[in-house]
Amino acid sequence: MREEVDKELLNRINSYIEELFVAPDDALQSALEESKRAGLPEIYVTPVQGKLLQILAGLSGARRILEIGTLGGYSTIWLARALPSGGELISLELEELNASVARKNVDRAGLSGQVEIRVGDAKETLAQMSQNGVEPFDLIFIDADKESYPDYLQWSLRLSRPGSLILADNVIRGGTTLDPVDEASLAIKYFNQLVAGDKRLSAVVLPIIRRRIDGLAIIRVLE
Ligand code: SAH
Ligand code: DHB
Ligand code: MG
């Protein structure tokens, strides 16, 4: 793909927004440092995106949040901080190592009473939750393996209610979604088509500035 964007300007704009609107925070900073120390990949949401997730969660009044893809718990902390007292966040993670790093990070942020991290393939955990008839979630954040996004959308529809908010990270991926180059970009392109074509949903994708331009899908469940 041709590189036409002025990356330096985009990075300056993103830093400008981050410095102006994202206050330095010890727990979030430590979560990034400890994740790095444990060797986790640096693929968490950006600080600006974390702030956006927190605002959207607060705005939606979410009491029950489901996250698919925990990594070191960075986005988990952003989202859980928007919960009212008595609210809860369940986060699904495949790797035991990631989950243990995340639990420590969440604990350091003082959120362990509201956050539960469940280890396993999210598709299995989601099927179990659905089978057990869990209470619907007010907000679902999809951010695990990209190949499974179409599946995660179907599970999210089963585990939500009218008015719920579904958010999905990485739906643009530097533009590879427009011209798929692999299984992951094909799945994301299909995911976006499913979302756009579903009459039960009202959705848009917001571009996100990071290493490459990415996107956050913002999806409201109508019925
Ligand atoms: N939400 C995190 C980043 C998540 S990265 C943040 O922004 O801070 C994606 C995570 O999904 C990784 O930790 C990876 O181990 C996990 N993952 C990948 N496949 C998965 C699966 N099938 N089930 C559950 N988690 C999975
Ligand atoms: C990457 C970024 C992500 O936000 C993610 O969830 C997975 C991978 C990446 O940049 O490779
Ligand atoms: Mg992501």
Nearest CA to ligand 1 atom 21: 121
Residues with a CB atom less than 6 Å from ligand 2? 43, 143, 169-170
Report whether 164 contacts 138 (CB < 8 A): yes
Q: Is 168 exposed, middle or buried (0-12, 13-18, 19+ CB in 10 A)?
A: buried
pLDDT digits (tens, 9 = 90+) for 161-217: 999 999 999 999 999 999 999 999 999 999 999 999 999 999 999 999 999 999 999
Nearest CA to ligand 1 atom 17: 144
| Residues constituting the chain | 223
* Sheet bearing 165-168, strands edge to edge: 115-119, 88-93, 64-68, 139-142, 165-168, 213-221, 201-209
The whole-model pTM stands at 0.98
Q: How many whole angstroms from 4 Cα to the centroid of ligand 1?
A: 30
Residue 204 dihedral angles phi and psi, to the nearest 5° = -150, 160
Q: How many whole angstroms from 9 Cα to the centroid of ligand 3?
A: 23
